[in-house]
Amino acid sequence: MENRVPLPTDNIYKFYALFGLLLTVFSIGAMLYVNKSTNDLAFEVAVEYETLKADPVRSVPEEARFLVLDRKLEIANINKRTFMVCLAVILAAGLGMMWYGFKKWHTEVQPVQDEIARLTLEKLKREVGGGIDA
């Protein structure tokens, strides 16, 4: 099987940074989706719920329907809070991984790679320059 998306396996800090970025993007998208789906549910039942709520004398089926809608909205809000807390934890972990990975990569790994590239370039220039003079 051919890998079409090259993963950064050359450096653990690069992996942390990019995986943290993935977690961050996922959690933000999931937060938007949870908020939208909860709002859709609330808007879907809002008219019927408010109509039943305004009627002081409800029949037994209407009372049952009102209680079901009330509980449905309550559960949706509890679920939304739970999902948002879980996604906030994932977002915090992603931001932490991203900050740590990019910081270590930029301050520890990249300077060494830059120095290696600079020394290699100097060596090649000397070899090419030495070959022309000789």
pTM value is: 0.73
Return the domain boundaries, the chain: 12-100
Q: What is the pLDDT of residue 129?
A: 79
pLDDT digits (tens, 9 = 90+) for 93-126: 999 999 999 999 989 888 888 999 999 999 998 9
Secondary structure in 3-state letters for the chain: CCCCCCCCCCCHHHHHHHHHHHHHHHHHHHHHHHHHHHHHHHHHHHHHHHHHHHCCCCCHHHHHHHHHHHHHHHHHHHHHHHHHHHHHHHHHHHHHHHHHHHHHHHHHHHHHHHHHHHHHHHHHHHHHHHHHHC
